[in-house]
Chains A and B, each alone.
Chain A
Amino acid sequence: MGTAYLSFEIFVVVGALAIIAMVFLANYRSQEPLPQEVVTSKGYALRRYWFWLVLVVSAITFAMTIPYFPYSAAKTPADAKHFTVVAQQYGFSLPAVVPVNVPVVFDVTSRDVNHGFGIYGPSGAIVGQVQAMPDYTNHLAMTFTVPGHYTIRCLEYCGIAHAAMQGEFDVR
């Protein structure tokens, strides 16, 4: 999905603002102290707005994220191509080639323990992932728009060779 760098930027900006704000507020004119009542009367009045701001921003953000949930996407067009993916200690059974610009669904399961089916694109960023569980099949719906070589890494600790567990396929 390519949201990782956006996440990182938001984190850095909001985090930096928070640090600066909290340090500033604690040190602001610290040589001229005020009695507590003066600070709290203004503070409590402001807090009401702060509360509503936080609540409204949370609600709006939540609503905005709903269209991007990967779950209902599993109810994709009936003509989507299905590929079975079976994870096991310590490899994946995968298709060798996945078509580009076509809706596909990966039916992912595991033969033994929990694994993670993590798809890394040609640029090295994660483009999608889903858990590979024993006794359950998870359906990951995607449409690949960038052709190239894709790497699969296991994204759920599964044993001693978890870090070596890899696979690959081409998109074209």
Chain B
Amino acid sequence: MWTYIGTGLAIFTLMMLAGILLRAAQAGWIPVDPGTFYSILSLHGVGMIVAMAIAGLGTLWYLVRREMELDERIAYIAYGFFVAGVISVIVSVIPGRYGSLWTMLYPLPFVGTYWPAWATGAWLIGNALVMLGFMLWCAQILGALLAKYGGVRGMLAIDYVFANRAFTQAGRKPPPPAMFAAAITAFDGFITGTVGLVIGTALLVHLIDPTVAIDPLWAKNLTYLFGHSIANLTMYMAVAGVYVGLPLCTKRAYHTSPQLAVAWWATLVFVIIAYFHHLYMDFAQMQWMQFVGEIASYLAAVPVVVVTVYGGVMLAHRSGMRWSLGAMFLYGGMIGWVVGGVGAVIDATIPANVDLHNTLWVPAHFHTYLLEGVLLFTLGWAFVNIEQRAGAVSNLMMRWLVGLGMFGGGALFVFSFYIAGAAGVPRRYAVEPVPGPLWAGVATAGAIVFALGFALCVFEAIRLMRLPKGEVAV
């Protein structure tokens, strides 16, 4: 687990520095030519998602392993695929100068490119390797869950929900909450990986043989189905750490309930079909897809606010919990998830999307999700483990500093995206129209404060890890 989490956080750190550079460039503080800008942006996008995914997969693997046997070799082989893929992608950007961004839409990256064809190949192959590692991981977890709980029926606790009395009277137990996160990740992840491999292979074939035709709308649908799902799944992976970590911090129990099972069934379905919301401005899509996109986007929020976040608030409420860094991050991550969700649901509303699509509002909401949601869940889980092992927490001043840095700086960072997006500043612009550069400056400042808080937090983690194993339970 620590290999996965450590690798994920290491990649995150590099991508964060790249991100600060990008925002500073948009603020006009550091001169970066458009070609380099888009290459770094491509790396930043895919790198962040893969970083969060690797960390989340590590957390889930560890939690699944606590319940059943898992072959470590597969985890290492999958890891090998991830590392190979990441290296290939990095090579395609530096020195390859690939610059088509991670959700590239066919006919990009074949038209108007300023980088050699091998860089496109390296990018596609790198992403395919990461996908294959992901499929290996999903297949392993799925196989283990199916075996342990008795097929799909048991894994999703169908009998537990629909024949609850008979189930409990027979002395049977449903899977614990974190196993639902694992099941949905593995199941939806399999679909995500399959779709990613289709579009990736099709593009690779087109690279080698440009006479192979590809339908641009088909490619767009597959690209967004893949991209949307993998990004959302990083959140649902990290939630498993909350299901186990928050009860530890609050010294309360969190069990599976029929509501929790149904909530995860809803997530299983709605997370995938909500992808249509990326194509609202594609009037060539069939209309029913747009309707489904909006309703699925709304419904995907229901399990989150009614079960997971509500449950988290109930755990924390009047629990006498000590606000260690672990607790702060786990709870703060839920706040970030909700705030990002508000921004997301607004963008998922079609009349609002007309004015917000492809403006900075889009990175606003997903940076909120990722920076103040997924990342915090991952850090929270890591810290809970570190603090438990050391039997100690950070001192008050350190907690205040880290909190101010990461919540305050983070809030300033994402807020400037929202306001610039509402003002109509487009996303993915190397040079933004007014008032873009002003808010890019604010964002850079916020990001630097965030990075300082993050650095303190890393320093604190290392300090706690070096303490001898403590006896005092936190």
Contacts and interface: CB of A to CB of B under 8 A. Distances in A.
| A touches B in complex, CB < 8 A | yes
Interface of A: 1-8, 10-11, 14-15, 18-19, 22-23, 25-26, 28-34, 36, 39-40, 43, 47, 50-51, 54-55, 58, 61-62, 65-66, 68-72, 74, 89, 112-114, 116, 118, 120, 124-126, 128-131, 133-140, 153-164
Q: Which of A10, A74, A131 has the most CB of B within 10 A?
A: A131
A135 B369 CA distance: 35
30 contacts: A1-B355, A4-B356, A4-B359, A7-B422, A8-B422, A19-B339, A22-B309, A30-B319, A32-B318, A34-B318, A36-B252, A47-B306, A50-B306, A51-B306, A54-B301, A65-B350, A66-B291, A113-B107, A116-B281, A125-B424, A129-B354, A129-B357, A131-B283, A136-B216, A136-B217, A136-B284, A156-B358, A157-B101, A160-B35, A163-B34
B335 interface: yes
Interface stretch (B16-24, B428-436, B449-457): B428-436
Contacts, number: 229
Interface stretch (B50-58, B178-186, B292-300): B292-300
State the 9 A-B residue pairs at the shortest beta-carbon distance, nearest first.
Answer: A33-B320, A68-B351, A8-B422, A163-B429, A159-B112, A4-B355, A138-B283, A26-B316, A155-B358
Interface string B90-111: 0000000001110011011001
Q: Which of B104, B283, B316, B359 has the most CB of A within 10 A?
A: B283
A33 B314 contact: no
A100 to B, nearest CB: 20
B271 to A, nearest CB: 16
Given A68-B350, A162-B428, 11 more contacts: A4-B422, A6-B352, A7-B361, A29-B318, A34-B317, A55-B302, A114-B105, A125-B355, A138-B282, A159-B112, A163-B430
Interface of chain B, main secondary structure:
helix
Interface of B: 34-35, 38, 99-101, 104-105, 107-108, 111-114, 215-217, 220, 252-253, 259, 281-284, 287, 290-291, 294-295, 298-299, 301-302, 305-306, 309-310, 313-314, 316-321, 331, 334-335, 338-339, 342-343, 346-347, 349-352, 354-359, 361, 418-419, 421-424, 426, 428-433
Contacts of B418: 8, 11
Interface of chain A, main secondary structure:
mixed
A31 B290 CA distance: 49
Contact of A89 (B112, B305, B350, B355): B112
A15 B343 contact: yes
Q: Which of A1, A28, A69, A128 has the most CB of B within 10 A?
A: A69
Contacts of A157: 38, 100-101, 104-105, 108, 428
Q: Which of B100, B112, B291, B319 has the most CB of A within 10 A?
A: B112
Contacts of A58: 298-299, 301-302
A33 B316 CA distance: 10
A120 B143 CA distance: 52
B371 to A, nearest CB: 15
A47 B258 CA distance: 14
A23 B334 CA distance: 11
A129 B314 contact: no
Nearest to B364: A11
Contact of B313 (A22, A61, A68): A22
Contacts of B334: 22
A44 to B, nearest CB: 8
Contacts of B317: 25-26, 28, 34, 39, 43
B284 A69 contact: no
A128 B334 CA distance: 34
